[in-house]
């Protein structure tokens, strides 16, 4: 295990980007921070800037307007990093897939700038906080050592 991967797995900081979600997944992500679920016990924190973050938590369908901004966010992050697609919209486009302003899904947009990105999917509408925590931990396990 390289030093970078070791450091990444110790305590991941999350950066949360909403690229066209309905806020459902977003409040569930914040719910993870509050006393009931408290992901800080795993060393996870919401970071204020993508440059400080190890995982990009994406919610929403990725609209036309958000697409270049999402790519920019991903490029700003320190590598190696993990992308977490939270909710049905981020995983596939979900119910909004036929919409004219849909330009995703998220994994496709991110793979355009980095074909080797590590992407984890947490389906559900919205996924429960337990599912989000479990998704984040599984993504960490998937990082090649």
Binding residues vs another protein (CB under 8 A): 15-28, 30-31, 34-36, 46, 48-50, 60-61, 63-66, 69, 72-73, 95-103, 125-126, 128
The burial of 83, by beta-carbon neighbours within 10 Å (0-12 exposed, 13-18 middle, 19 or more buried), is given as buried
The distance of closest approach from Cβ of residue 3 to another protein in the complex, given in angstroms and rounded to an integer, is: 27
Neighbours of 11 (CB within 10 A): 12
Q: Nearer Cβ to another protein, position 5 or 18?
A: 18
Q: Nearer Cβ to another protein, position 117 or 131?
A: 131
State the DSSP string of 33-63: TSTTT-GGGGT-EE-SSGGG-SEEEEES--B
Q: Nearer Cβ to another protein, position 99 or 142?
A: 99
How many whole angstroms separate alpha carbon 73 and alpha carbon 11? 20
The distance of closest approach from Cβ of residue 144 to another protein in the complex, given in angstroms and rounded to an integer, is: 29
């Amino acid at each position: 295990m390289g030093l970078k991967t070791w450091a990444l797995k110790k305590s991941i900081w999350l950066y949360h980007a909403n690229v066209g979600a309905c806020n459902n997944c977003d409040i569930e992500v914040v719910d993870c921070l509050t006393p009931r679920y408290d992901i800080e016990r795993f060393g996870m924190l919401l970071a204020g800037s993508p440059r400080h973050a190890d995982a990009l938590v994406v919610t929403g369908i990725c609209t036309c307007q958000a697409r270049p901004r999402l790519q920019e966010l991903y490029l700003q992050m320190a590598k190696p990093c993990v992308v977490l697609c939270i909710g049905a919209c981020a995983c596939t486009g979900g119910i909004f897939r036929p919409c004219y302003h849909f330009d995703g899904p998220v994994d496709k947009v991110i793979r355009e700038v980095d074909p080797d990105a590590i992407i984890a999917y947490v389906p559900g509408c919205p996924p429960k906080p337990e599912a989000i925590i479990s998704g984040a931990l599984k993504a960490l396990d998937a990082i090649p050592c």
